[in-house]
Each structure stands twice: as structure tokens, then as C-alpha cells.
Structure 1
């Protein structure tokens, strides 16, 4: 198998192509929504408390996945990822329409903002594992890493385009119009999910409360006895806790450290999206067997260095965001592909749900804690702390201070 392949080969699959296009539209709306909610937060509270409130929103949008991702894994293996994914999108669409209504009527309050963020957090616990498993159901196994890379690409293009659109929409049309755009962006994806056939093979013909816990424990046991997955998940946890808050606290960092406005925030996040687009394209061209053997510790080293550079020299933040975006995109593609390709088909929903558990549960937890710490010592100091932690961790792994796991076996 050649080392370099067509980076867009997964789009030859008609069902994946339809899903990819619809998801692209939805993700742009999601990033518009994320930008606007964060900006609402920094203007609802004094500057000294804004970082903590943004962290609380991120916590509520992600931490519920700690409880619901493992549950989602079992339900995905039982009922199929398409069913679970469709219901999560319907609920998220309703959430978005209600948010748009509240802003339009001038009824948005901290209570509603936090309550709707919590509901999004609950659905996110089902969304990520069902989405990733659904992709593995509609593309062949040898194309799966490429499909995941292309999905990461559109996620990061959306992260580049969404905040920029949000900035201009708020400036020229008003806050409520941005939330309306997000609400409407769910419709193409819901339609696509309704027409794409369900190819999932159910692992159980009878669901029961007792069997649910038996299957849940079985999934945890499988991961805990796989040295490669353990090493992968430890790295994922560290990045989720200390790397992801770079972007999630950026509104507060831009306002208090960079001394800019929502347009400046949009430019920085746009640079992060450009970097992620470049990183996703590079990873998409790598064949699967080589991809899952790549060492993501080098990526964590670059990310930690970039966060530290932004903290020490705020003028470098757009450039740091570019490198972080490129490395983050590559990091998630490598770890996600490895997790899926090394998991048996009857266990994939549960292993991916644990992956999502660490990702969507770790990042809001880290953002919440670092946000509160930012209230006490300043956002700039928090960025310095997070960068140093990732540097120390990645260097320790690269110099084998942490016991290395065995190399993954060839893809079956």
C-alpha cells in the first residue's frame, strides 16, 4: 500500500458524501452558536468573572457526556448509530430554535443560557459516539481513517468560517440572526439521516436493564486490557484537559489579554481552522496502517509550545492558533482512527463511547477548572500553566519516562 493516497477518496461513497455535505452546513451553524453564546457570556458579566462563566457554559455543554457517553455506547450497539444520531439532532434543532426565539424576544437570561447549554451537554454524550460509529457503518474499513479525517476537516473549516460569520452577522444584522442561522443549519442533516440506509448490525435482539450493565462492563474491561488503547486514552485525557481550553476560553483571552473584539476573536479562531484544514488534509493522505502507528506525542509537544508562546507574547496568538489547529486535527484523527480500527465490530460503539467520554467530558472539565483559575490568577497565567503541563507530559512520553505501549497490530 502506498504511503500517500487520494485525501478525498471517501467522498466517492455516495452515502458518506451526502452526510458529509449536510454535516458541513450543520457544523458551521454550531460554531456560529458557540461563538455567540461565549460572546453573550463575556458581556453578561464583569471581565473578572467572564472566564469562569464561559468555563461553566463549556462544562455544562460537555460534562454530562461523562454520564451519557458510556450509556450511548451500549444503546448504539443495540439499536444502531443512525437511530441515536437522528434523535440527538432533532433535540439539538429544537434547542437551537428555542435559543433563537429567546434572543429575538429579548428573553435570554443566564438561567436560560445555562439550562439550554446543559441540554446540549446531554445530547452531546450521544452525538459524538453515534456520529463516529455511523461513519464506520457507511464506509469500508480501509477508507474509515480517510472518512474521519475528512470529517475533522469540515469540523475545522466550520471552526474557521463559523466565528468569522458570527462576527459579521452580529455587527451588521444583530445577535438574533446568528442564532436563527444555527437553528436552520440542522435541517439538511436531519433530512440526510432520514434517507441514508441503516447498515448497522445489532449486537442484541433483546434489551434489558441487566444486560445493559453487563455490556457496559464488558466494554470498559476490553479497553482496560488493551495497552495501546490505554496509552491512547491517557494522551487524549491530557489534551482534553489542558489543550482544548485554548480555544474554549479564547473569548476571555481575546478581551482581557489580546485587547480585541469579536472580529479579532473570529480571526484567531479562523487561523485555528486554517491550520486544522491543513492538518486534516495531510492526515487524510496517509494510509491507515501507517496512520495508527504515528506518535501523537510530537503533536502534543507542538501544541504545548504554541499555547505557551501565545501566553508569553499575545501578538503571536493567531500564529499559535494555526499550529494548534493543525496539530489538534491530526491528533484527533490519529487517536480516533486507532480506536475504531483496533476495536472489534461488536464492541465499536462502546469503545468509541469511552473515547468520546474522555474527549467531551475532559475538555469542558478542564475549561471549567481553568476558567475558575483564570478568575483568580488571570487568563494569561492559566494559558502559561496549561502550556507547561502539556510540554512536560509530551516530553516525558517522548523520552520514555512513561512506559510505552506495544505497537498496534495490522488492520484486519
Structure 2
């Protein structure tokens, strides 16, 4: 196999290409929505309270996945990823239309924000594992890491474009248009999910309430016994709790530390998205057998150091965001691909649901806790704290691997 490959090779698959384009539209709308909800919180509260409320919104949008991601894994293995993904996105579309209506009528309040954020948290528990498993069902196994890298790319391009669009929408047209755009952005994805066929490999036909818990614990047992996957998800846990809040608390950091407005926030997040786009292109060109052997702890070290630099030198924040975006995109592509390729087909939904459990549950939990810390000691100091944790973990893991060298499992058809 060639040392480097076409980073866009998965787009030759017609069904994946349709899904990729529709997801691109939906994700831009979602990032517009995320930006506006966070800025509403900044506008409603004083600087010493805003970070905590933004953290609470992020917590409610992600913490329910801790309960629902494992359930989603079993349901995916029973009924197929496409069905779960379709109904999840349908509910999110309804949520977006409700948000747009509340803004239009001038009824938006902190209570409504929290309720709708919690509803998004429930659906997020089903979204990530069903999306990743669905991708694996419509592309060849050899293309899976590249397909995941391309999806990460559009996610981060959306993160680059969405906040920038949101900033100018608020400045020239107000909040209402942004939420309406998000509501409409779900339509192409729902249509595409209706027309794309799904190859159902390994889905269980013997489903019952009693078997549900047996299947659930079987997935947990498999993950704990596999040393490579358990170490991978340990690193994911640390980064989700302490690294991801760098971007998720950025509205408060921009206002209180960088001393800028929503346009400045949008530009910083644009830099982060640009970095992620670059990172996704790089890892997308790496063959799968090499990709899953890359060491992500080096990326965590770079991320931790850049969080600390941005904390002490706020003018460096856009450049830190660029670097962190590239490393974060690469980190998720490596860990996601490794988890997918080392998981047997008959329990891939369950294993990926545990990956999602950590990813979507850890980041809002960390954001909520760091937001509360920010309320007490300042947003800058909460960033310093998170940077120290990520850096220390990365150094300790690098040291451990030097003293205990181990080979990453080679994926085989299971």
C-alpha cells in the first residue's frame, strides 16, 4: 500500500458522498446554533456568572449521553444504525424549530434554553454512536478511517464557518435568523437518510428486555479486557474532561480575558476550525494500518501546552486555537478509527456507544465543572488548571509507554 493516499478517496462512494454533503449543511447550522446559545448566556448574565451558565448548557447537552449512549449501542446492534440516526436527527430538527419559534416570538429565556439543551443531550446520546456505526455500514472497511477523517473535516469546517456566520448574523440581522437557518439545515440530512440503503451486518434478531442487559455488559466486558482500547479510551476521557472545554468555554474566555465580542469569538473559532481542517487532511492521507498505530499522547502534550500559553498570553489565542484544532482533529481520528477497526462487527454499536459515552458525556461534564471553577477563580485560571492536567497526563503516558512499550493491535475482520 502506498505510504500516503488520496485524503478524499471515500467520496468516490456515492452513498457516503450524499451523506457527507447533507451532514456538512446540518453541521454548519448546528454550529451557528451552538454559538448563538452560548452568546445568549453571555448576554444574559454578568461576567462572573456567564461561564457557569455556558458550562451548564454544555453539561445538559452532553451529560444525558452518559445514560443513553450505552442504551443506543444495544439498540443499534438490534435495529441498525440508520433507523436510530434518522429519528435522532428528526427530534433535533423539532428542537431547532422550537428554538426558532421562541426567538421569533421573543419568548426565549434561560429556562427554555436549559430545557431544550437537555432535550439535545438526550438525542446526542444516540447521535454519535449511530452516526459512526452508520458510516461503517456504507463504506468498505479499508475506507472507514478515511471516511471518519472526512467527517471530522466537515465537522471542523462547520466549526470554522458556523461561528463566523453567527457573528455577522447577530451583528446585522439579530438572533432569529441564525436559529431559523439551523432548523432548515436538518432537512437535507433527513431526506438523504431516507434514500440511502444500509448494509445490516451482525445485527441481532433475538431481542428481548432480558437480553438487553446481557448484551450491554458484554460490550463493556470486551472493552475492559482489550488493553489497547482501554488505554485509548482513558486518553479520550482525560481530553474530553479537560481539553475540550478550551473551545466550549471560549465565549466567556473571549469576553473576560481576550476582551473581544462575538465577531472576535467567531474568528477565533474559525482559526480552530481551520486547524482541524488541516489536521483532518493530514490524517486522511495516512493508510489505516499506520493511522491506528500513531501515538495520540504527543498530540495531547501539544494541546496542553498551547492551552497554557493562551491562558498567560491572550493575544496568542487565535494561534493556539489553530494548533489545538489541528491536534484535536487528528486525536479524534486516530482514537475513533482504532476503536472502530478493533471492534467486532456484532458488537460495534456497543463499543462505539461507549466511545461516545466518554466523548459526549465527558466534554460537557468537564465544561460544567471548569465553568463553575471559572466563576470562583476566574476563567483564565480555569484554563490554566485544564492545561496543567492535560500536560501532566500526556507526559505521564509518554513516560509509561517508553518504559512499557506495547504494540497496537492490528485490525482484522471479526
TM-score for the superposition, normalised by structure 1: 0.99
SS of corresponding position for 1:399:
helix
Whether the aligned pair in 1 keeps the contact of 2:301 and 2:394 (CA below 8 Å) is: yes
Whether the aligned pair in 2 keeps the contact of 1:219 and 1:347 (CA below 8 Å) is: yes
Measured after TM superposition, the shift of residue 411 of structure 1 is: 2.6
Classify 1:108/1:221 alpha carbon distance in 2 versus 1 (closer, same or farther; 3 Å). Answer: same
Partner of 1:309: 309
Measured after TM superposition, the shift of residue 202 of structure 1 is: 4.8
Measured after TM superposition, the shift of residue 174 of structure 1 is: 1.1
Distance 2:403 2:111 in 1: 46
Whether the aligned pair in 1 keeps the contact of 2:303 and 2:324 (CA below 8 Å) is: yes
Q: Deviations over 1:174-207 (max 9, x none)?
A: 1000000000000000000000002123532132
Distance 1:365 1:281 in 2: 30
Classify 1:50/1:403 alpha carbon distance in 2 versus 1 (closer, same or farther; 3 Å). Answer: farther
Partner of 1:132: 132
TM-score for the superposition, normalised by structure 2: 0.98
Whether the aligned pair in 2 keeps the contact of 1:276 and 1:326 (CA below 8 Å) is: yes
Distance 2:126 2:207 in 1: 18
SS of corresponding position for 2:400:
coil
RMSD between superposed Cα atoms in Å: 1.0
Distance 1:373 1:402 in 2: 34
SS of corresponding position for 1:90:
helix
Q: Deviations over 1:118-139 (max 9, x none)?
A: 0000000000000000000000
Q: Deviations over 1:359-384 (max 9, x none)?
A: 00000000000000000000000101
Classify 1:389/1:401 alpha carbon distance in 2 versus 1 (closer, same or farther; 3 Å). Answer: farther
Measured after TM superposition, the shift of residue 24 of structure 1 is: 0.1
Distance 1:405 1:204 in 2: 38
1:300 and 2:300 matched: yes
Superposition pairs for residues 27-42 of structure 1, below 5 Å? 27-42=27-42
1:201 and 2:201 matched: yes
Whether the aligned pair in 2 keeps the contact of 1:231 and 1:405 (CA below 8 Å) is: no
Whether the aligned pair in 1 keeps the contact of 2:237 and 2:358 (CA below 8 Å) is: yes
Classify 1:5/1:401 alpha carbon distance in 2 versus 1 (closer, same or farther; 3 Å). Answer: closer
Partner of 1:242: 242
Whether the aligned pair in 1 keeps the contact of 2:100 and 2:183 (CA below 8 Å) is: yes
Measured after TM superposition, the shift of residue 274 of structure 1 is: 0.3
Measured after TM superposition, the shift of residue 325 of structure 1 is: 0.1
Distance 1:384 1:199 in 2: 47
Distance 2:402 2:55 in 1: 30
Partner of 2:354: 354
Q: Deviations over 1:72-91 (max 9, x none)?
A: 00000000000000000000
Distance 1:83 1:151 in 2: 19
Whether the aligned pair in 2 keeps the contact of 1:62 and 1:125 (CA below 8 Å) is: yes
Superposition pairs for residues 240-319 of structure 1, below 5 Å? 240-319=240-319
Classify 1:404/1:180 alpha carbon distance in 2 versus 1 (closer, same or farther; 3 Å). Answer: farther
Partner of 2:98: 98
Superposition pairs for residues 85-164 of structure 1, below 5 Å? 85-164=85-164
How many residue pairs are counted as aligned between the two chains?
412
Distance 2:403 2:307 in 1: 26
Partner of 1:6: 6
Measured after TM superposition, the shift of residue 403 of structure 1 is: 7.3
Measured after TM superposition, the shift of residue 405 of structure 1 is: 7.2
Whether the aligned pair in 1 keeps the contact of 2:202 and 2:345 (CA below 8 Å) is: no
Partner of 1:384: 384
Whether the aligned pair in 1 keeps the contact of 2:254 and 2:260 (CA below 8 Å) is: yes
Q: Deviations over 1:116-161 (max 9, x none)?
A: 0000000000000000000000000000000000000000000000
Measured after TM superposition, the shift of residue 401 of structure 1 is: 7.2
Whether the aligned pair in 1 keeps the contact of 2:74 and 2:349 (CA below 8 Å) is: yes
User: Which stretch of the first structure deviates more once superposed, 373-382 or 389-398?
Assistant: 389-398
Measured after TM superposition, the shift of residue 18 of structure 1 is: 0.1
Q: Deviations over 1:5-32 (max 9, x none)?
A: 0000000000000000000000000000
Stretches (4+) displaced over 6 A: none
Q: Which runs of 5+ in 2 are unaligned?
A: none
User: Which stretch of the first structure deviates more once superposed, 199-208 or 63-72?
Assistant: 199-208
Whether the aligned pair in 1 keeps the contact of 2:86 and 2:190 (CA below 8 Å) is: yes
